[in-house]
C-alpha cells in the first residue's frame, strides 16, 4: 500500500525521548527512512531495532551524538546518504527547557540551553538547507510548469514537484514570553525568528521551513528543565488534558504530507484548555 512519505529520507534530532521519538516512529510508519539522533546512543539503538523489526525493513538508522556539534551533524548527513539517499525531511527537534526567569534560572545552564536550542538548530539548518535548495533549483522547470498550470486552471500532478522540508521545534513561550521559563523562552523566541528567516531564504527556492510551536507537552522535558512536579501537576489539571508527543508528531506528518506547493508554515499546538502561554 502506498504511504504518504514513501521514498522520503528523514533526519530527526533528539529522538531518544518525547517529541523526537514520537516523530521518528510516525515518519517511519508513514513510509519514510529515518536517521535518528540523540546523545543516549543505547536508547536510539533500541528504538531503531524495534522499529526495523516492526516495519520488517531496515529503514531506521542511528547517528548518536551532540546535535549542536558540527561533526555529529556531518555524520547524520553521511549516514542518511550512505543508507537511504539525500535527506529531504529534517526535523530540528533536539532541545531542552530551563525553569525560572532571566533573574532566577540557574545561570550555569544558560550556555548549554542556548547552544542546543539555538546554535544547534542554526547549524543543522545551515548544513542541510543549501543542498535541499540546490536540488529544488534543479527542478525549477517543473515548479514553473506547475505555476503555469495553476494559472491556466489545469490540475497539477502532485508528483510533478518534490517536497523538501525542514521542520523546526519552537514553542508557544517563544511567542509569548512567560516569566515561568523566560530564559528558555528567549532561546525559543530566537528559534522562532531563525525558522522564519530560513523560510524566507529557502521557501522561494522550493524548500518548506515549518515552525512548530507546541504549548505544554508531557515528556522528559519537565524533569530536564527542573520544573517543580507539584506546580506542574496543578498546571496539567488546570490546562489538561495536555498534549502528548504523538499529537505533535501527527501534526508534523500532516504538514509534510501536503502537496509540495502548499506550506502550512507555522503551527501552534495547545491543549484546548490552555489559554496561555
Ligand X SMILES: NC(=O)c1ccc[n+]([C@@H]2O[C@H](COP(=O)([O-])OP(=O)(O)OC[C@H]3O[C@@H](n4cnc5c(N)ncnc54)[C@H](OP(=O)(O)O)[C@@H]3O)[C@@H](O)[C@H]2O)c1
Interacting residues with ligand X (CB under 6 A): 13-20, 37-40, 43, 66-68, 93-97, 116, 169, 171, 214, 216-217, 219-221, 224, 245
Are the CB atoms for 191 and 125 separated by under 8 Å? no
CB of 137 to ligand X, least distance (A): 30
CB of 269 to ligand X, least distance (A): 9
Closer Cβ to ligand X, 139 or 220, answer by number: 220
CB of 221 to ligand X, least distance (A): 3
Closer Cβ to ligand X, 5 or 44, answer by number: 44
Closer Cβ to ligand X, 13 or 33, answer by number: 13
How far apart, in whole angstroms, are the C-alpha atoms of residue 193 and residue 64? Answer: 28
CB of 116 to ligand X, least distance (A): 4
Copy the grid coordinates of residue 236: 496539567
DSSP single-letter state for residue 202: H
Are the CB atoms for 210 and 265 separated by under 8 Å? yes
CB of 103 to ligand X, least distance (A): 21
Please count the CA atoms within 13 angstroms of the CA of 215 that sit on its side-chain side: 19
CB of 14 to ligand X, least distance (A): 3
Closer Cβ to ligand X, 66 or 135, answer by number: 66
How far apart, in whole angstroms, are the C-alpha atoms of residue 132 and residue 88? Answer: 7
Beta strand residue intervals within the chain, DSSP E = 9-12, 33-36, 60-62, 89-92, 165-169, 208-214, 266-269
Cis omega (within 30 of 0) on the bond before 271?
Answer: no
Closer Cβ to ligand X, 143 or 239, answer by number: 239
Closer Cβ to ligand X, 143 or 171, answer by number: 171
Phi-psi region of 153 (alpha: psi -120 to 50; beta: other; left: phi over 0): left
Closer Cβ to ligand X, 22 or 142, answer by number: 22
Q: What is the layout of strands, in order, in the sheet containing 89-92?
A: 60-62, 33-36, 9-12, 89-92, 165-169, 208-214, 266-269
Are the CB atoms for 112 and 175 separated by under 8 Å? no
CB of 240 to ligand X, least distance (A): 13
Residue 57, C-beta contacts closer than 8 angstroms, at least 6 positions apart? none
Amino acid at each position: 500500500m502506498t504511504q504518504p512519505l514513501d521514498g522520503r529520507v528523514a533526519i530527526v534530532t533528539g529522538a531518544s525521548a518525547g517529541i523526537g521519538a514520537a516523530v521518528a516512529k510516525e515518519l517511519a510508519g508513514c513510509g519514510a527512512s529515518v536517521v535518528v539522533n540523540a546523545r543516549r546512543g543505547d536508547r536510539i539503538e533500541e528504538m531503531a531495532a524495534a522499529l526495523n523489526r516492526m516495519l520488517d525493513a531496515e529503514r531506521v538508522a542511528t547517528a548518536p551524538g551532540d546535535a549542536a556539534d558540527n561533526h555529529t551533524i556531518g555524520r547524520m548527513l553521511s549516514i542518511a546518504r550512505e543508507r537511504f539517499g539525500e535527506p529531504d525531511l529534517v526535523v530540528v527537534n533536539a532541545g531542552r527547557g530551563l525553569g525560572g526567569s532571566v533573574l532566577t534560572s540557574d545561570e550555569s545552564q544558560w550556555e548549554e540551553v542556548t547552544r542546543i536550542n539555538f546554535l544547534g538548530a542554526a547549524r543543522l539548518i545551515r548544513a542541510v538547507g543549501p543542498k535541499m535548495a540546490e536540488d529544488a533549483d534543479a527542478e525549477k522547470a517543473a515548479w514553473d510548469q506547475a505555476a503555469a498550470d495553476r494559472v491556466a486552471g489545469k490540475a497539477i500532478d502532485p508528483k510533478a514537484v518534490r517536497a523538501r522540508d525542514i521542520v523546526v521545534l519552537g514553542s508557544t513561550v517563544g511567542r509569548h514570553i512567560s516569566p515561568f521559563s523566560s530564559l528558555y523562552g528567549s532561546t525559543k523566541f530566537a528559534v522562532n525568528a531563525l525558522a522564519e528567516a530560513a523560510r524566507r531564504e529557502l521557501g522561494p527556492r522550493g524548500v518548506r521551513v515549518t515552525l512548530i510551536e507546541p504549548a505544554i507537552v508531557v515528556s522528559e522535558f519537565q524533569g530536564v528543565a527542573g520544573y517543580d512536579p507539584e506546580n506542574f501537576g496543578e498546571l496539567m489539571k488546570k490546562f489538561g488534558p495536555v498534549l502528548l508527543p504523538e499529537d505533535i508528531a501527527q501534526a508534523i506528518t500532516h504538514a509534510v504530507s501536503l502537496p509540495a506547493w502548499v506550506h502550512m508554515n507555522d503551527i501552534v499546538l495547545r491543549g484546548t484548555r490552555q489559554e496561555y502561554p
